[in-house]
Copies of this chain bind each other. A is one copy, B any other.
Amino acid sequence: MAAKSLTNRAWRLKRYPTGLPTVDDFEIFAAEPPAAALSAGEVLLRTAYISVDPYMRTRMKAGAGYLMDGFELGGKPIDGFCVAKVEQIAGAGASAGEGGLAVGDYVHGFLPWRELNVASAAAVSRIDGALGAADAAADGAAAATADPISPSAYLGVLGLTGLSAYFPALEIGQPQPGETAFVSAAAGAVGSIAGQVFKQMGCEVYGSAGTAEKLAALRDELGFDGALNYKVGAAELDAQLGALCPKGIDVYFDNVGGVMLDTVLKHMNTNGRIICCGAISQYSNADDEAAYGVKNLFMVVAKQLTMRGFLLHRWQDRHAEGRAQLAQWLREGKLAHKETIVDGFDSVAEAMVSLLNGGNTGKLVVRVEQQQE
């Protein structure tokens, strides 16, 4: 085993970024080590994987955000979705009760970006062996990405990103066989799953991304029928979208807002559905005035479109159902689980910046746990 760090390191925000964040907007600091003794119901968790997600950019502002309040400056660690390993359970030698936790289990939950955390056992969820993940990782090594279901999958395809694609794609999108679906930020964590869900429903699926490598991944690895690079200017984007989807678009899974949304509006078919998942193109604007103005909203009237936003907790009572379906597709080889893994706790800020710069394909995860040599 590589040496474990002696301090309990953590990441916090140093200042609110203007525009795209840089690594200098974050800082690593030595947090208090956990107390020697746990209270009843508590577990000691060692962070194994950290998820960096686009919505987090909306918390890098003072005050109340749309999902949660802004991160503190120079104070508490940033928090987000993580996978951790149970290192200790309250009550020496406690053995897990039914459905309880055992030392060595992987759990997923919303945790501070800190190497060690003490949490209530009730606040985290055991990664379910029935879905294959616990088995694959039983020896404590990080599951190879070749394995369809690794613990990190609980931050991606089987986590909130996968479910953020699955439920709205089906429930808002109402995709019908033979329809045309379009996904923006299609090579991203949510987009890559959304496109594949549409494909499972029998749609023709197209997407946009920002690099040649991502476009190739969409076509060759993720089963998209075609893809375009959105970095071409509005007029050319319009022309290319028309050429890519000559029958028009019935379902649009919008992760980006802005120019892309405005352009897609012109290509929507009558009774089309637009799933408003995010607006990553707008998150890093310096202020509200810098927001892009969408001009083609009259298409919502003229084409009788439905645009609907969602937050994931809308389908909270169905998460298990969604995870089970996605896991089944994974095992059947119908769903590619594309991950970009960045190693090391030190790399978290860099990963966050890279994400918002569009540097990754699939789910971007920071692997914190030590690899066996």
State the A residues within 8 Å of B (CB): 66-67, 257, 261-262, 276-279, 282, 288-289, 291-311, 314
Partner of A279, one of B262, B276, B279, B298: B298
Evaluate contact between A257 and B308: CB separation under 8 angstroms: no
Evaluate contact between B304 and A306: CB separation under 8 angstroms: no
Give the docked Cα–Cα distance between A308 and B304 (Å): 7
Whole-angstrom distance between the Cβ of A242 and the nearest chain B Cβ: 15
Give the docked Cα–Cα distance between A183 and B262 (Å): 25
CB-CB nearest in chain B for A55: B301
Partner of A301, one of B276, B297, B299, B305: B276
Give the docked Cα–Cα distance between A276 and B314 (Å): 23
Evaluate contact between B282 and A298: CB separation under 8 angstroms: yes
Chain B positions within 8 Å of A297 at CB level: 257, 261, 276, 279, 294, 297
Whole-angstrom distance between the Cβ of A217 and the nearest chain B Cβ: 26
Chain B positions within 8 Å of A301 at CB level: 66, 276-279, 309-311
* Highest count of chain B CB atoms <10 Å: which of A261, A282, A298, A304: A298
Whole-angstrom distance between the Cβ of A274 and the nearest chain B Cβ: 9
Chain B positions within 8 Å of A282 at CB level: 298
Quick one: given A257-B298, A276-B300, are A306 and B308 in contact (CB under 8 Å)? yes
CB-CB nearest in chain B for A273: B308
Whole-angstrom distance between the Cβ of A305 and the nearest chain B Cβ: 5
CB-CB nearest in chain B for A305: B309
CB-CB nearest in chain B for A272: B309
23 contacts between A and B (CB under 8 A): A66-B298, A66-B301, A257-B297, A276-B297, A279-B297, A288-B295, A288-B296, A291-B295, A291-B296, A292-B293, A293-B293, A293-B294, A294-B295, A294-B297, A300-B307, A301-B310, A302-B309, A303-B309, A304-B308, A304-B314, A306-B306, A306-B307, A307-B307
Evaluate contact between B257 and A302: CB separation under 8 angstroms: no
Give the docked Cα–Cα distance between A301 and B55 (Å): 11
Whole-angstrom distance between the Cβ of A250 and the nearest chain B Cβ: 15
Give the docked Cα–Cα distance between A174 and B310 (Å): 18
CB-CB nearest in chain B for A277: B301
Evaluate contact between B308 and A305: CB separation under 8 angstroms: yes
Chain B positions within 8 Å of A314 at CB level: 304
Quick one: given A293-B292, A293-B293, are A308 and B298 in contact (CB under 8 Å)? no
Partner of A311, one of B278, B304, B311: B304
Give the docked Cα–Cα distance between A271 and B314 (Å): 10
CB-CB nearest in chain B for A293: B293
Give the docked Cα–Cα distance between A302 and B262 (Å): 19
Whole-angstrom distance between the Cβ of A227 and the nearest chain B Cβ: 23
Give the docked Cα–Cα distance between A48 and B16 (Å): 66
Kindly list the 3 A-B residue pairs having the minimum CB-CB distance in the complex, ordered from nearest.
Answer: A293-B293, A66-B302, A291-B295
Whole-angstrom distance between the Cβ of A248 and the nearest chain B Cβ: 14
Partner of A310, one of B67, B277, B304: B304
Quick one: given A303-B309, A305-B309, A309-B305, are A295 and B293 in contact (CB under 8 Å)? yes
Chain B positions within 8 Å of A307 at CB level: 300, 305-308
CB-CB nearest in chain B for A261: B297
